[in-house]
Amino acid sequence: MNDIIKFGTSGFRGIIADSFTFRTLTATVHAVADYVKAHSINAQPMLMVGYDPRFMGEVFAKDVAEKLNMCGVDVVLTNRDTPTPVIAFYVISHKLDGAINITASHNPPIYTGIKFTPSWGGPAMPEETEQIQSMANQYLAENSLFEQTQKNKGKTELVDPMSEYIDHLNDMIDFKEIAKANLKIAIDPLHGAGRGYLKRICEIHGIKYVSIHETRDPYFGGAAPDPNETNLFELKKLMAEDETIAIGMATDGDADRFGILDRHGRFIIPDYVLAILSEYVLSTRDFEGGLGRSIATTHLIDRIARQHKREVYETPVGFKYIGKLLTEGKIVFGGEESGGLSMIGHIPDKDGIIAGLLMLEAVARTNKTVSFLLEDIYKMVGTLYADRRDIELDNDSHAHAKALMSNPSILIDKLKPLEVDRTEGLKLLLEGGSWLLLRLSGTEPVIRIYAEGRQQTETEQYINSVQDILKHA
Ligand code: G16
């Protein structure tokens, strides 16, 4: 049997009316209900249900709530599209059994999906999603979706989780330091679920701001709601027209990823943001513990950890692994090159809102631009230049990419790595702290080529060499 419902790096995602339908949604919801009832931390199981601003998000979410009620699960339904980190915070603070969020995160507008957050508040781990996926596909195959309906139906209550989350940020961010610096910021939620959040925070704390893309647009202005350099061109333009803006901050479709622009509107890649904030958090927060990063994320973090005599933990790609490290108290701060971070005392899931605020606090306290803060890192631990290239795959190129990863002798002969790491995809550890990683994305039909070299040209060479091999395969 071919599984129709497949959980990738974070959740099940599909094109609306193709693999994501009311039928696949219902099967998944029933499987989540079974899982939750088997693992409930409450006598009466209760889940939060939320959604991002995609097409029919509120309709799918209402349907999920009804189906959960039919399975005997109580629901708190968000009153509007809501960021994944806000949902994660609500799950933890109200000791819920978890949450279902209708979102395809940063993927293009034709997609939607389901993220399942278990009671611990992080993205579901593979052992959790594997059970749900297999039950969901079984329901589909057997056409037995409504057999589980109970006599004791659950109930649904509508909630607005915004204020509680915003209040909690007072414990995480030094707003006094931010207020003292009297900076102006630019905000771009990319029409995503972060709409209104940073704006409201600025209004509460008297921070000057300008913002764009705050309306709901299920087409996200015609692009994917991914806060990368290309998609932030309007924020960049806004900053070019107003020199008094100190920093630009953006969030993705469900506001768990960040995008940061420095005062000149220059995009700072997430790797560098993570290096700056790893150093900033270790220097300003009095917590025991190491730093966490995924296998695809800058090794500048390792050097910073060494400076502070802290451990560094490397994980496979997926914030769930970093979330677990935070929950276990092993790390103080962790992040991923795809634009995810969180820290101790906050949620074990990535949060694009807190990422922007933390960078604002760093800029305010140090009176330095983001680019200057990066220069400081280079002075302290030396340079490394990270980059990533995504190559779209069709059936043929997918086979070539897989073949190269399983038999990389051509690449090994060329680059002569010191070590070959097979934790995820293929990672070659090279001379002088440089490295190259190839892996298939779990959220998009692409191969990702990541590299980090001592010079920008070296990084590009590594990436080009893989692309050339793939082109001629
Ligand atoms: C998801 C995961 C992240 C992961 C990213 C990229 O982000 O939550 O942990 O780093 O996908 O994964 P991949 O390289 O497999 O596509 P999001 O923001 O889409 O949920």
Would you state the pLDDT for residue 144?
A: 72
Looking at the chain, the whole-number percentage of residues with pLDDT higher than 90 is 94
Mean pLDDT of 220-224: 96
Cβ of 444 less than 6 Å from ligand 1: yes
Cβ of 251 less than 6 Å from ligand 1: no
pLDDT of 471 strictly over 90: no
Tell me the CB-side half-sphere exposure of residue 67, using CA atoms within 13 A: 24
User: Which band of pLDDT confidence, cut at 50, 70 and 90, is reported for residue 148?
Assistant: low
382 Cα to the center of ligand 1, angstroms: 28
Cβ of 442 less than 6 Å from ligand 1: yes
User: Which band of pLDDT confidence, cut at 50, 70 and 90, is reported for residue 351?
Assistant: very high
Question: Which phi and psi angles does 291 have, rounded to 5°?
Answer: -115, 150
Report which protein residue has its CA nearest ligand 1's atom 7: 10
Q: Kindly report the number of other CB atoms within 10 A of residue 16's CB atom.
A: 18
* Residue of 251, 293, 338, 447 to test ligand 1 pocket, by largest number of atoms within 8 Å of CB: 338
Report which protein residue has its CA nearest ligand 1's atom 3: 318
Are 65 and 215 contacting, i.e. CB atoms less than 8 angstroms apart? no
Would you state the pLDDT for residue 233?
A: 97
Length of the chain in terms of residues written: 473
d(C-alpha 23, C-alpha 4), whole Å: 11
* Residue of 9, 129, 336, 389 to test ligand 1 pocket, by largest number of atoms within 8 Å of CB: 9
Q: Could you identify the atom of ligand 1 that is nearest to the CA of residue 105?
A: 19
Q: What is the pLDDT of residues 240-267, one digit of tens each?
A: 999 999 999 999 999 999 999 999 999 9
Cβ of 103 less than 6 Å from ligand 1: no
pLDDT of 392 strictly over 80: yes
Q: What tokens appear for 11 in the block?
A: 């959740």
User: Which band of pLDDT confidence, cut at 50, 70 and 90, is reported for residue 472?
Assistant: confident
Q: What is the pLDDT of residues 162-203, one digit of tens each?
A: 999 999 999 999 999 999 999 999 999 999 999 999 999 999
113 Cα to the center of ligand 1, angstroms: 13
Would you state the pLDDT for residue 467?
A: 94
Q: Could you identify the atom of ligand 1 that is nearest to the CA of residue 103?
A: 20
